[in-house]
Amino acid sequence: MIDFLHSSAVWGVLLTIGAFALGTWLNRKTGKAWCNPLLLGSIFVIVLLSALDIPYADYKASASPVSYLLLPATVSLAIPLYEKWELLQKNVVAILAGILSGVLTSLGSIMAMAWILKMEHIQAATLMPKSVTTAIGMDVAAALGGMAPLAGAVIILTGIVGSLIAESVCRICHIQDKMSKGIAIGTAAHAIGTSKALQMGEIEGAMSGLAIAVSGILTAFLAPVAATFLP
């Protein structure tokens, strides 16, 4: 089996697509929010790699074409934003203030956690960009002295959790404004959360897509400043 996988250049791509397709099928079949296709797909891949004793490095190399699609997929989220451009222009100050508040809260929570739990610098730096898209967050974590691969896993987990609890949090906190929902979800749960926001509505999806880009830029500038206060 290992020899066959080494001889195939695209087995990682096929495994990734197949695992996600299976997760999507189970999600539709069960109708349960916790059956997130990305979460289930990740579990399927981990189980298969562990069962066949396949090194992660081999899988990562074979599945690299999928990673190349991450950036254009993120950029494509600008399409719903373009369709709501007038709404953005009318509320630009409130929108930017909301995103900035979310970024500061995210960074502040990691700083507080680092001091309370007495984390090492490398651990806190890895968690610092947890709420931005993987394409930005992994580079930010590496620049701060953190572990980029682990940061990627934390970012994905953050997005999955955010997408699962987004509607419940908005309901509990009585957040009814569509723009507010989108900004909160995009700032806290990046692209994975945005997929949920798009299901909630066009305005939510557009604002969430904007929040991904702006929060990523703000985090890239503010995270190094916050990192200087880490233990």
Indicate if 201 and 88 belong to the same structural domain.
yes
Residue 73 lies in a domain: no
Indicate if 94 and 190 belong to the same structural domain.
yes
Q: Where in the sequence is the domain holding 203, given as residue range(s)?
A: 78-227
- What integer pLDDT is reported at residue 79 of this predicted model? 73
- What integer pLDDT is reported at residue 223 of this predicted model? 93
CB 186 within 8 A of CB 91: no
Residue 11 lies in a domain: yes
Indicate if 88 and 108 belong to the same structural domain.
yes
Taking the chain (231 residues) in consecutive chunks of 10 residues, what is each chunk's mean pLDDT?
58 86 87 77 87 81 77 69 75 89 93 91 92 87 90 88 88 90 90 83 85 88 90 75
Indicate if 170 and 212 belong to the same structural domain.
yes
Rounded to whole angstroms, the Cα distance separating 50 from 45 reads 8
CA distances from 171 to 72, 118, 178, 206, 231 (A): 32, 34, 12, 20, 36
- The model carries a pTM of 0.77
Indicate if 207 and 123 belong to the same structural domain.
yes
Query: Hey, what are 179's tokens?
Result: 């723009």
Which position has the token pair 């701060």?
Answer: 144
Of 33, 49, 68, the position where a domain reaches its end is 68
Indicate if 47 and 123 belong to the same structural domain.
no
Indicate if 112 and 175 belong to the same structural domain.
yes
Rounded to whole angstroms, the Cα distance separating 7 from 23 reads 27
Within 10 A of 87 (CB to CB), how many other CB atoms are there?
Answer: 17
